[in-house]
Structure 1
């Protein structure tokens, strides 16, 4: 608590030295275009990059969020632009670099929005690999025998398309490391909102009409439904509810056991517990690593029981870029 108060005191002191006209935070947080085009470089001119972290602390407090803690909601467009602006000027080596990277990131996001809009409307994104990955979802969104299945497939298409946009130079164009970072932050904000909308929808559907059982909706639809639940990380209680449903259904052949395994691990990690099947991990020093396991000696046997390959083979499929 003392550290938080100290950070806030420093933030307020820096802001006071700037003056409200130098950093009109309240106004910027209400206007996405103003937040995007604001000259953030003035905030560190004559002060250095060390002036920026206190302002970021102040911005989080003003947004009603805790810096460094898991988000309790998605950023608005204006909030995202403020955070990107502050990160950009803190990281940039010069005013010129900041402006070039800011403009490059803004252009990349515009291209991305246009490409994804074209793809979701049935056209091409301009990235053949992305088109091939998303087309089956879009096909099901038109041909599935039930309206429920068609809506699910379209939502799964959006889920996958936005995730395949991160760092995708075919869509975004070649970018400097900082411009790519700023672009990916904006993509993350879009992904958060897509996930929130998808979770609200599937929660209503499952609670009112039940799960998408394989015998009624097919394996692809059941996988689509699992996908939305798997990405409901901001609603762990709902993920846990779905995990219990899948546990009961897997013995009946109404869910793919692999889906149960992935969600079991996701819920465990989200609750701070070791995972069972080793599906969750990250990258360190350019190599894939596995988050803590319940029983590392038996993990390959457990994976085989649900139809997964060995952990070593699974980890070898990932390409890590630090």
Structure 2
């Protein structure tokens, strides 16, 4: 399949794209089941089974993602199309057990961002995830927690919080207050 992108026309590696999309489906399967339980809905699995399978899937996906990065670098649009590149980012987001690997992927993704070959919003989310995982303040306010008393979403600490919406807009993110509303309990 030929695909037009910022650097011209290239051939999509459909086998790699399919592999990444399969990894992503497995990643999402357990998160969807977890969300069902967390929202009081019924699931075919108990919480322990979900958590065990999510951890196993994340571990297997991380091993495969490391091989993909070693062979291809960060798979951008020109290699695996938009769907494959965005799915790969989601897999990297869930590699919290290896923050150094997330940082490596972020560095490689940064190069693809400069070539308009990856998603700027995804980059911001991964950047914040890495910073929070390293114990630093985030840049874009994408990493949030739910306050157990108020049930409202609050971002983890943000660097230069007065400029956060300016940074968010530059990468295509909605204003922070609108973003936080997404996490509010459904009435």
Query: What is the TM-score when the length of structure 2 is the normalising length?
Result: 0.85
Q: How far 1:215 sits from its partner (Å)?
A: 1.9
- For 2:70 and 2:42, how far apart are their aligned partners in 1? 37
Corresponding residue to 1:251 among 101, 114, 119: 114
Q: Runs of 5+ in structure 1 lacking a partner?
A: 1-143, 174-179
Which residue in 2 is equivalent to 1:205? 68
Which aligned pairs between 1:213-292 and structure 2 lie closer than 5 A?
213-284=76-147, 285-292=150-157
RMSD: 1.9
Give the secondary-structure state (helix, strand or coil) at the position aligned to 2:137: coil
Question: What is the aligned length?
Answer: 170
- Could you tell me whether the CA contact under 8 Å between 1:156 and 1:227 is conserved in 2? yes
**C-alpha contact 1:283 1:320 (8 A) present in aligned 2:** no
Tell me the equivalent position of 1:306: 171
Could you list the runs of 4 or more consecutive aligned residues of structure 1 that deviate by over 6 angstroms after TM superposition?
none
Question: Whose radius of gyration is greater, 1 or 2?
Answer: 1
Contact 2:58 2:95 in 1 (8 A): yes
The 5-angstrom pairing of residues 138-149 of structure 1 reads 146-149=14-17
Q: Which has the higher contact order (CA 8 A, sep 6+)?
A: 2
Matches within 5 A, 1:1-322: 146-168=14-36, 170-172=41-43, 183-284=46-147, 285-320=150-185
The alpha carbon displacement at 1:208 in A equals 1.6
Aligned 8 A contact 2:62 2:91 in 1: yes
SS of residue in 2 equivalent to 1:166: helix
Higher helix share: 1
Measure the CA separation in 1 of the matches of 2:26 and 2:138. 28
Aligned partners of 1:172 and 1:257: how far apart in 2? 34
